[in-house]
Each structure stands twice: as structure tokens, then as C-alpha cells.
Amino acid sequence: MSSSIAELRQLVEDPESDLAGLFSRAVLLSNTLKQKNITAWLKHELAGYSETEKLPDYRLGACGTLVAWFPGQGWAEAPIERANTDEGLLCYSLYQSLPDIETAFNENSRMGGQRVDFTDEKLAKLQEQTRLSTRLALAVPSKSFAFALLGAREALRLWIERLTHLGLPEDAHRFTDEQRQQAAEADAVLAEIIAKATTKAQAEAATFKPKKKGFFGRLLGIGG
């Protein structure tokens, strides 16, 4: 049985609601309405994206600080000049599943960020450019993860809002062909929905502050 519009609205407006569960229930509704674009987006959010797939804007541009592993010292900010380093390699796009992003944010928000390893290819390029042979990683601030979570939630809220404005019955779990056709406009404007969600989420994420201070001291001490 599909979730109703009213049920989803109640969940999406609760900032404490589980995003993975919320998006799973939204897939049921989008499938019932036969909304191909929305369904594909929801499923990508739940399962993650491959590096060849286009990401929603709220998952892009998580630029961070390059850190290096020094034996006997641990992780520390890499001694480099950013002008001599490919800036694109110092940015991290969030391809992982929404549940994984949510978990990473919950686990690391108190520390202000997360250390992210590079692929072997990117690591080799950075080692060549920085002339550092040691292990390198990227310290990504928590606000980048918050940006992705806020963007996804807001996009889902805007979709639900659009369905309501189109006059669909809010408590229904089944829909007629006529009602599905009525809802088709919401499926056609996914790009517009994501753009609006990105703008709002960016402003909200910019105000995020870790609950504790000492970002690098805590973040770079994770693991070895």
C-alpha cells in the first residue's frame, strides 16, 4: 500500500524523521502515481550514484582541506600551496547513499567534519602535484553533509507541496488514471524542484556550526 500525501507531509516537516524511511515511503507514492523522473531520483538518493551519473546540485562542491599522514605525528594539514594543486581534486562530491550521508553526518557533526579518502587515481595525482609520498585525504566539513541532507529533504517537501497544489486527494492511497495525469506536472518539474531546494539548503547549511569546537584536533585524530 502506498503512503498518502498527508502522511509524507507530516514526516518531511519533522526534522527528526528518518530520511531513509521517508524516501522509501515516497517511492511507494511516486510509483503509485507513475512518476518516472521522481521515482528515479528517489531511488538514486536511497542507493547512491555512480561517478558517471549527474548529481543533484546539493551534492556537489564539498571542498575541504588536504591532510597528510605523518608517522609519529598522525594526521595534519598538508604543507602545500593550493595555487599549485588542482582545485578540483580538493573538492568532494557526495555520491554515496542518503542513509550513508545521514550516518556520516550524525557520527561526525560534533567534530565538525569527516576525513575522506581519495580513490587510487586521485591519490596518485595529488601525490605527484604535492610531491608528498605519504597517505593523503580530504577533511570535509560537516556543513557539506548537512547541505546534502537539507537539499534532499527540501526537494521532497517541494514535490509533496506541488502534488497538493495540483489538487490530488491528500489521504488517498490509490489514484485513478485521471489523477495520475493531473499529477504529471510535478514529475516534469524535477529540475526546478531541485534547483529551489538547493538554494534554500545552501543558505541553511551555511549557518551550521559543530556542537563542539576543535575541528582538526578531533577530526584528524580518527583512525590511522
Contact 105, 145 (CB under 8 A): yes
Instruction: Give the pLDDT score at 220.
Output: 46
pLDDT one-digit tens code per residue, 70-106: 998 888 888 877 656 777 777 888 999 999 999 888 8
| pLDDT for 61 beyond 80 | no
For the entire predicted model, the pTM comes to: 0.84
pLDDT one-digit tens code per residue, 13-53: 998 899 999 999 999 999 999 999 999 999 999 999 998 89
Count Cβ atoms within 10 A of the Cβ of residue 179 and give its class: 0-12 exposed, 13-18 middle, 19 or more buried. Answer: middle
10, three cell numbers: 507530516
Give the pLDDT mean for 107-121: 80
Domain ranges of the chain: 5-53+147-198, 57-145+209-219
Give the pLDDT mean for 187-204: 96
187, three cell numbers: 514529475
Q: What is the DSSP string of 92-157?
A: E---S-HHHHHHHHHHHGGGTEEEEEPPHHHHHHHHHHHT--S-EEEEEEHHHHHHHHHHHHHHHH
- The count of C-alpha atoms lying within 13 angstroms of the C-alpha of 93, restricted to the half-sphere facing its C-beta, is 16
Exposed e or buried b per residue across 27-63, where buried means at least 16 C-beta atoms within 10 angstroms of its C-beta: bbbbebbebeebbebbebbbebbeeeeeebbbbbebe
